[in-house]
Structure 1
Amino acid sequence: MHYFYIIFLLNVGGIFGFGLFSFDHGYRHITKLHTYNVTILDSKEDQWIEQRLDHFDPNEKRTWKMRYIEDLDYWKPNGPIYIFVGGEYSISDAIPIGYTHELQKETNGALFYSEHRYYGKSIPLDIHVTDNLKYLSSHQALADLAHLIKTIKSSSTFETSKVVVIGGSYAGNLVAWMKLKYPNLVDVAVASSAPVLAKVDFFEYLEKVSEDYQKLGPSGCLDKITEIFQRYEQLLKTADGIEKLKKEENICDDTDMTKLENKQLFFVDKIAIFQMNAQYGTPDDIVNHCHQIMDSSTPYLKRLFDDESKLFRQYRGCFDFDYNKFINEIKGGTMVSWFYQVCTEFGYFQTTTSVKQPFTNNVPVNFYYNVCTGLFGSEFDEKRVERGVENTNNFYEGLSPNVTMVVFVNGDIDPWSRLGIVNDLSSDAPAIVIPKAFHCEDLLHDASTDTDELIAARKNIKKLVKKWIGFGA
């Protein structure tokens, strides 16, 4: 089942990974949306490592099994270890064929692809019991990676190997934070599209979406978008308007569109396609979308998944914007883990509170607070969210982490770059901003569409990694 989006993720989320709460943001979702070359580790079996349930409580003795994949096809003695870090998703046997694979091959490296606790097959405890999720945090995930690295390096085969961690979106955060918190274990980090600054009211996201459509779209596009959303807002104010909107948008007859939270879900759904085009589209995608909107004689906006979407359809052939059903769907689904992380650590709530966007102000921050309490209980309220975000920024040092040998990479049309590091921290912690590149695009490779700027950026990333691990020195 496809969930509609509330871009929360980074990633990749997203991160609640692109639309609604940025589930799926990051590498996994990109490979769904675009046809890229990947390395298929079809002969590699899942590997498992025992991890402590709580790395920070010596009295907690329970353990669980974490999944990872290893590729030693190019390995030679003294070669480096590359760890491609998984984020808020289930890892697969496909990894990027871009510079991760090229570095592995060119430096005779070993590759490990790690899965994050509480995602995929790496499930310590039942994710549908809120109390079990207290062991889900970036702190615990970093400790898991530390244990994995120590275990790999304990073998005489790898004891002298340099360690390079690579990740995108939320996993990009993790690799930068590994260098910050475990500098004795990690030599180099490549953080792609990493929103390292946690933020509750992430209004800048839709500001950037608006900016992308303004700069890349044809004249008049933003005005048309404004017109469409203002019309939605007016129709939802009256009974006659609601009936008209229901017919136009195939909304189920029994959906109560007078309820505020149901109206908010409707706006979330309609904004999602714009978010996806800005986060994962090309400039041509934005131009084409603008033409579709401006050339259409009807006010209908194509959905992100359209007929594939089942969350709102409820298998009834119509769209049911029922907030309570939405909460229950998430509670029973696999993405409840990412919702927990954004509600307790990151925020990333993409609101419409800024006036510098065309989507009206119908998705306020309170909507997200209500989702958190609806999913996890009344104690997961505004204060809990704000405290979690403050703690995250204090612990990981926000946009000014004291790190070296970390390269921060962002695409300049990616809305998540507003929470990323886009200026050099130092000569040994540079920032690379790639013109007209989307979220995590540097991690992938498509010879048919790669721009000269993207090719040059990847070359620069590889050069830095090789320099920092002393390859060829």
Structure 2
Amino acid sequence: MSFLLDYFIHSIAFKTCVCIFFMLNILHVQSFEPQYSLETRYIDVPLDHFSAVAKPKYFKLRYLINAKYHVKGGPIFLYTGNEGDISIYGQNTGFMFDIAPVFNALVVFIEHRYYGQSLPFGNTSFSSPENLRYLTTTQALADFAYVVNELKKNFFENVISYDTYPFVAFGGSYGGMLAAWLRMKYPYLVLGAVSSSAPIFGFPGMASCELFYEKVTQVFEKYGREQCVKTIKLGWDVIVNLSKTKLGMDFISSSWKLCNRLKTNEDVEKLLNWLSNIYENLAMLNYHYPTDFFLPLPAYPVKVFCDKLTTSYFNDTKGLIEHFSNAIEIYTNYTGKKVCNNLNSTVEDYSERAWDYQSCTELVFPKCSTDADMFITKPWNYENYAAQCYKKFGVKALDPGWALMAYGGKNLKYYSNIIFSNGMMDPWSCFGVFTNRSATVWAFNITDAPHHVDLRHSDPADNNYILDARKFHIQAIKQWLNMV
């Protein structure tokens, strides 16, 4: 077991630090019937906002807009796009639509450069370090500011004075980080920001690396049966030991309906990493009603998974593997339409490539697992991580202290008009802001809530904690707009 585990630990040191909510966001764009009507628009934005070349290059940035509730002079609610296709967030951020009639607001979702349809160099955007060098948070924030200026011309000309344009930024996850940073960097353009589930304190030196996996384990302990975590921990050894032989690999491949059979240690590594991501994603998306955010899931999928894993008896290792196979289908094949599970995509997703690059150069989130959680014990080593990044992209990772210098780290007392909300059953809350940082930089902690649930649409199953968070957001926005 030790050889394979050592192989697993070192070879996925780079991959597993790619944050799971980002990994989820970039897997694919599912087809769905749009719940909210959004008009697609494009704007030519500079490739490099900070260059003074004589002939600057531009590319088309996509943004989505809904003017159904907008009254001239009313505010603009602006969603700062995540690491994925912006249409996903346009259909899963219902809070902005729910409150738009209250404020007579225009609703806008801006896509992040290098994601979705906003590719600066088209299909060659990821072909070289030279083409990828414009994928930075500062360039993305400047894109958002550029769109804000365009919206000002179209919606506020001759209406109100230059310094009072009522833009309010919204964002969840990485988008929540960007919403907060947009307010920090461009306070004259954005009145305030609602930043939900933003791991803004997750950078090296700001949080302990073991917190994330401990929080995932807590979610499974709370919503799963008592035996669930113990069975998951047992499963790692069973998988590793069984996969030491060809017969064992074949059995796992058949039981788990893998599109490609396990043949090598590298294949087993991918399987273990895939399984780890499933646990992380189940914890993150443990909503109290059925969802199809990135894939269809039942209400409380962690509970459903654990019930399926632990309610039946098994008497040997192969029986346990079959139990895992049945339980995992809650995540992989809830609709029953999937033929097999593909651990090796034949074509690398552009968004996955983009996020890997960002996680190498700027957005480094150390994660490690210990005996205290339900995952394989795995250390964090920055030097190894940086070496993997250089091998993959030919780029040097930024200094681990970069985020502290660029955005202030935990010293937020000089900023204003930002709400940091966190669901306390969201694994990413461990890297969030839990306490007020100034007179108007607030923290709102939502008991028993998953990932940025407060930005989702209103639902009859919402508990009072979620309702209170939304009331808090509304009151703050009214205050920013001088409506109270």
Q: TM-score, normalised by structure 1?
A: 0.81
- Checking the alignment, whether the CA contact within 8 Å between 1:411 and 1:439 is kept in structure 2 is yes
Match for residue 221 of structure 2 among 207, 214, 223:
214
Distance 2:27 2:259 in 1: 27
Counterparts of residues 95-106 of structure 1 (less than 5 Å): 95=91, 98-106=94-102
1:149 to partner: Cα distance: 1.4
Residue in structure 1 matched with residue 44 of structure 2 by the alignment: 50
Give the aligned residue type for 2:240. E
- CA separation of 1:101 and 1:319: change in aligned 2, threshold 3 A: closer
Give the aligned residue type for 2:79. F
Deviations 1:272-322 (CA, angstroms, capped at 9, x unpaired): 332122101147432222221112433232253249999xx9xxx77675x
Q: How much is the aligned-residue C-alpha RMSD, in angstroms?
A: 3.3
Distance 1:203 1:233 in 2: 23
1:38 to partner: Cα distance: 4.1
Distance 1:350 1:15 in 2: 14
1:178 is aligned to 2:205: no
1:227 to partner: Cα distance: 1.4
1:442 to partner: Cα distance: 0.6
Residue in structure 2 matched with residue 299 of structure 1 by the alignment: 320
Give the aligned residue type for 2:117. K
Gaps of 5+ in 1: 1-5
- Checking the alignment, whether the CA contact within 8 Å between 1:197 and 1:393 is kept in structure 2 is no
1:460 to partner: Cα distance: 1.1
Give the aligned residue type for 1:156. N
- CA separation of 1:256 and 1:462: change in aligned 2, threshold 3 A: same
Over the matched positions of the two proteins, sequence identity in percent amounts to 26
Residue in structure 2 matched with residue 167 of structure 1 by the alignment: 171
- Checking the alignment, whether the CA contact within 8 Å between 1:198 and 1:398 is kept in structure 2 is no
Distance 1:446 1:180 in 2: 29
Counterparts of residues 104-183 of structure 1 (less than 5 Å): 104-125=100-121, 126-130=124-128, 131-154=130-153, 155-157=157-159, 159=162, 160-183=164-187
1:271 is aligned to 2:276: yes
1:68 to partner: Cα distance: 1.4
Distance 1:150 1:248 in 2: 55
Distance 1:255 1:85 in 2: 40
Counterparts of residues 347-386 of structure 1 (less than 5 Å): 347-348=364-365, 350-351=367-368, 353-361=369-377, 372-373=389-390, 375-376=392-393, 379-380=394-395, 384-385=396-397
Distance 2:332 2:269 in 1: 19
Give the aligned residue type for 1:82. F
Distance 1:196 1:252 in 2: 37
Deviations 1:134-170 (CA, angstroms, capped at 9, x unpaired): 1111100011111111222243356553111111111
Deviations 1:239-298 (CA, angstroms, capped at 9, x unpaired): 6654554454455786433x3x43321111122332122101147432222221112433
Distance 2:22 2:199 in 1: 9
Residue in structure 1 matched with residue 448 of structure 2 by the alignment: 436
Q: SS of the counterpart of 2:84?
A: coil
Residue in structure 2 matched with residue 62 of structure 1 by the alignment: 57
Give the aligned residue type for 1:342. S
1:396 is aligned to 2:404: no
Q: SS of the counterpart of 2:445?
A: strand
Distance 1:467 1:182 in 2: 19
Q: SS of the counterpart of 1:54?
A: coil
- Checking the alignment, whether the CA contact within 8 Å between 1:434 and 1:453 is kept in structure 2 is yes
Gaps of 5+ in 2: 1-14, 289-299
- Checking the alignment, whether the CA contact within 8 Å between 1:410 and 1:433 is kept in structure 2 is yes
- Checking the alignment, whether the CA contact within 8 Å between 2:168 and 2:192 is kept in structure 1 is yes
Distance 2:100 2:459 in 1: 19
1:413 to partner: Cα distance: 0.8
1:199 is aligned to 2:198: no
Match for residue 457 of structure 1 among 469, 476, 479:
469
- Checking the alignment, whether the CA contact within 8 Å between 1:51 and 1:147 is kept in structure 2 is yes
- Checking the alignment, whether the CA contact within 8 Å between 2:81 and 2:171 is kept in structure 1 is yes
1:82 to partner: Cα distance: 1.4
Distance 1:319 1:427 in 2: 50
1:341 is aligned to 2:358: yes
- Checking the alignment, whether the CA contact within 8 Å between 2:63 and 2:109 is kept in structure 1 is yes
- Checking the alignment, whether the CA contact within 8 Å between 2:194 and 2:420 is kept in structure 1 is yes
Residue in structure 2 matched with residue 466 of structure 1 by the alignment: 478
Deviations 1:321-356 (CA, angstroms, capped at 9, x unpaired): 5xxx66x732x64421122111111123544x3222
